[in-house]
Structure formats: C-alpha cells, structure tokens
Amino acid sequence: MAIGQAKPVPPLTLNWRSSWYFAWGVTRKFDGGWRTSAGYMFSENSVPNANFTPLVPDTDRHAWSVGLGRDTRNWTWDIAYQLTRGVPRTVSGSALSPGGESADGRYEWWCHALTVSVGRRF
C-alpha cells in the first residue's frame, strides 16, 4: 500500500532575515537550599511581510519568567511560570498562496507556561 497525496504541496519560501535575541536572568539563593529566579527575553521578528505565513506567525516577542526551587540532600525541585507576548503585527503585501489567499491581517498572541521539575540524587 502506498501513501499518496491528492495535490502536490507547493514549496514554502521563507527568506527569513537575521534578527536580535536578548535574554537575561538572575537567581538568588537563600538558606536551607531555597532559591528564586526571574528572567526576561526579547526576540525580534525574523519574517518579512512578503514571506509571512500563519504557519510561523512570527512577531517580536517579550517573555517574562519567575521561579522558585529548593535543593535538599536527596531531592531537588523547581516550579516556574512564564508569560510570553507576541507584539501586535499588521501584515500587508504577503505573497498569495496557490489557493489565492494572502496572510495579510493583524496578528497578536499571549502564551502562559507553567513548568515543574523534580530530581532525585542517589
């Protein structure tokens, strides 16, 4: 049995450009193995309007994070929260897809992430 596709998929032209990425973070350690952390990240948009696609809805991004953790003799754990914002971007002049649609429009997004990690020392 062969797996086929009814219509061929056209190539996706990216033509991305170089962009800036900046990140910093700090961790403060306390007595008893406790620690707290905070960070910030900025990532510049890499996709020009002409090659914008909703498959990779690139915008400038800001991300803020905070975390808490602790080390004991046999265990380590951390919990962190991150809020990321895709800065509003209006796209015009994007290339037409084979179906005749463009990706022109306004794009904006928010993302919340919660992470938990636990480690065991032997």
Domain holding 62, by residue range, is 16-82
Is there a domain that residue 25 lies in?
yes
Alpha-carbon Rg for the chain in angstroms:
21
* Average pLDDT over all residues of the chain: 90
Listed in sequence order, the residues at least 6 apart from 44 whose beta carbon sits closer than 8 Å to its beta carbon are 19, 20, 21, 60
Q: Please tell me the total count of domains within the chain.
A: 1
Q: Does 38 score more than 90 pLDDT?
A: yes
| CA pair distance 18, 49, nearest whole angstrom | 14
Q: Does 115 score more than 90 pLDDT?
A: yes
Please state the rounded mean pLDDT for residues 83-110.
Answer: 87
pLDDT value at residue 1: 66
Is there a domain that residue 42 lies in?
yes
| CA 16 to the chain's CA centroid | 17
Q: For the segment 51-69, what is each residue's pLDDT rounded down to a tens digit?
A: 888 887 789 999 999 999 9
Q: Does 86 score more than 80 pLDDT?
A: yes
Is there a domain that residue 4 lies in?
no
pTM above 0.95, yes or no: no
Is there a domain that residue 113 lies in?
no
> Are 71 and 116 within 8 A, CB to CB?
no
